[in-house]
Structure 1
């Protein structure tokens, strides 16, 4: 273990059972790849592991409606009608699978167990890379997400510990489920920096979505232009999140580390590289050190290039929490040798992003200017 930092890591092979099918883009094998990469490095061992338990219906109901929870239980056993399934958001993309309720509730339970460990001082911080299901709505499955572990954890921390919770969501898709769960709640601030919804699911996250009633001003959205590159992303993120956290002063940070900002991600249109994805968790970790006495829980999220991008990027979520530096040099040979037979592409040999097939964007200056103008507008709300 590095220094005196105690970092929890939520994992069990049971988390791999949250799956919609072999051909589905949401593939939890990326979690196993990341975990084994960290183990081969010698950074992760058994005493870091927090084994997830299945969250109770009562806890899920901090965010989700009882009729929705019941519908998911019925779908788990194959007894939900097609009409009811559509009503509750179960479709071709987020399709029912056997024991869906248990496998989805286990993801939530892992987050809650880690949250308790952080709040009671058993660990200083931690990550739950198998979680980050930020699209799920209170009464509806959405965008590959059944139960919203981020929202339930935020509600749990608010209720049990009377904590002010800041959710920082850097997934390329807007964190709509988390936003709508707290749209009128002043105790949870949801900040989402994402590709604009003009061309990308879920189509929300406009900068004018700022919350309602007591929650007004506690929803912050920074939509970025498609093909945003590293420098613009990092400048806009660092500037805006600094203004937000200084104004809100949270007790704990929950962050969502979808790594679909990467230019090789098949589902988005951003032009960032591992440079951004490596730095994001370090930026958030430093904010936690300054504002929340180090209390931060980092989730996974999106990321659909599971060989080239996710393991290297997610490994740095854990490494940032442990106080280890950004890595360089070769990846562990044993890891490459084990997994290469399963990958259709050659696995990356080093931690460095080779930027293969990377094309710089002709309108980069124009894109950066537009992003910066939006960032300044958002910062002006917190002056």
Structure 2
């Protein structure tokens, strides 16, 4: 059993649209600092990311889109052209050095992939990645390049392995799904808030793939205000069924934590319990079905003070086989970030639920989710 590896460098913090944009990679540094302060991450666990090459980006992205990103980052692309590539929108505004800073995130994810696929470790984490809304020729939803899709195609092409992509972000993993929608060599699995209320509006139960990829796209849209019990029931039952059906060689998971009840951009009602259990269940599935091979990336998460560092830390702790901690966070971490926080800064690893409001329609929501689960399981049981 090898020790897991953690991909990090301060250069990964430079992917930043502007000071008021909700996508803030400071959450990556905060998570790293929390793990270091708690003694669960050391310098020997960390590997430096490399840059992705244009050739690697072209595994899934069109060359004219890559060229447009380069020009936009130099201020040399017309407004009309930028719009056609999904650049300089409200969600995904252009910024200086956009190509160079975006390819660093892809390179970080590829560094995690290569550490696992070349046998240096069984498990690797690159929290800088998880930009799952990027399309082959268009930026979308805070995402320029789609690091997960590039990494999965890299695993397919270079190593000839079958990849199960697991996406637990509150938003549907649309970019990854559509890129692999017609292949049976990748299964995309996304559990997310229903698109009736939330960007990108896709991810219905009936999106199942096309041509030889039919049945290899799995979507679990849960109702708004879904709570821990309902979410975890659906997740655990369907994920193992999907793994048994697909029989992957390696698991690649995207770990958005914006389904937390304190996240400002979604409508789910999950607590730290779910974010403790998700990575431990994925870890269990990897050990059971893929000889431990698991690559994990970050994703959504827009409450960087109260939510993201504690929830993301659980991914690394699960890879290390460490039970979810209880009680006070490290004093050094609280001293470093508590005074800077514009909101009440958490003091414990687990959520203190004084601000959690129980959902009046809880049973109705859970029943709707169970009905969706029944239909999803029927799809997974089809040959």
**TM-score bracket relative to the smaller structure:** over 0.9
- How far did 1:356 drift? 3.0
- How far did 1:341 drift? 2.0
Could you say which residue in structure 2 is the equivalent of 1:111? Answer: 109
Deviations 1:299-341 (A, max 9, x none): 1000001011101000000000111111101100011001112
- How far did 1:97 drift? 0.7
Does 2:213 correspond to 1:215?
yes
Does 2:63 correspond to 1:63?
no
Q: C-alpha separation between the residues in 1 aligned to 2:78 and 2:46?
A: 39
Could you say which residue in structure 1 is the equivalent of 2:276? Answer: 278
Could you say which residue in structure 1 is the equivalent of 2:38? Answer: 41
Q: C-alpha separation between the residues in 2 aligned to 1:160 and 1:199?
A: 39
Q: C-alpha separation between the residues in 1 aligned to 2:134 and 2:350?
A: 34
Could you say which residue in structure 2 is the equivalent of 1:379? Answer: 377
Deviations 1:76-110 (A, max 9, x none): 11101100111000112101111110111111111
Checking the alignment, whether the CA contact within 8 Å between 1:115 and 1:153 is kept in structure 2 is yes
**Map 1:303-322 → 2, pairs under 5 A:** 303-322=301-320
Checking the alignment, whether the CA contact within 8 Å between 2:56 and 2:150 is kept in structure 1 is yes
**Map 1:321-340 → 2, pairs under 5 A:** 321-340=319-338
**Map 1:16-55 → 2, pairs under 5 A:** 16-55=13-52
Could you say which residue in structure 2 is the equivalent of 1:345? Answer: 343
- How far did 1:227 drift? 0.2
What SS does the aligned partner of 1:53 have? Answer: coil
TM value normalised by structure 1: 0.98
Q: C-alpha separation between the residues in 2 aligned to 1:116 and 1:272?
A: 33
Q: C-alpha separation between the residues in 2 aligned to 1:94 and 1:230?
A: 31
Checking the alignment, whether the CA contact within 8 Å between 2:49 and 2:104 is kept in structure 1 is yes
Could you say which residue in structure 2 is the equivalent of 1:80? Answer: 77
**Map 1:123-162 → 2, pairs under 5 A:** 123-162=121-160
TM value normalised by structure 2: 0.98
Q: C-alpha separation between the residues in 2 aligned to 1:148 and 1:43?
A: 29
Q: Say what the alpha-carbon RMSD is for the aligned residues.
A: 0.8
Could you say which residue in structure 2 is the equivalent of 1:356? Answer: 354
Checking the alignment, whether the CA contact within 8 Å between 1:68 and 1:139 is kept in structure 2 is yes
Q: C-alpha separation between the residues in 2 aligned to 1:89 and 1:104?
A: 15
- How far did 1:47 drift? 1.5
Residue ranges of structure 1 left out of the alignment (5+ in a row): none
- How far did 1:49 drift? 1.1
Residue ranges of structure 2 left out of the alignment (5+ in a row): none
Q: C-alpha separation between the residues in 2 aligned to 1:113 and 1:317?
A: 17
- How far did 1:379 drift? 1.1
Of 142-151 and 47-56, deviating more is: 47-56
- How far did 1:163 drift? 0.5
Deviations 1:137-172 (A, max 9, x none): 110000000000111101000111111000000000
What SS does the aligned partner of 2:358 have? Answer: coil
Could you say which residue in structure 1 is the equivalent of 2:263? Answer: 265
Checking the alignment, whether the CA contact within 8 Å between 1:5 and 1:323 is kept in structure 2 is no
Q: C-alpha separation between the residues in 2 aligned to 1:350 and 1:101?
A: 38
Checking the alignment, whether the CA contact within 8 Å between 1:193 and 1:223 is kept in structure 2 is yes
Q: C-alpha separation between the residues in 1 aligned to 2:379 and 2:187?
A: 14
- How far did 1:382 drift? 2.4
Q: C-alpha separation between the residues in 1 aligned to 2:350 and 2:52?
A: 38
Could you say which residue in structure 2 is the equivalent of 1:164? Answer: 162
4+ residue runs over 6 A deviation: none
Selected match of 1:177 from 175, 178, 194: 175
Number of matched pairs: 380
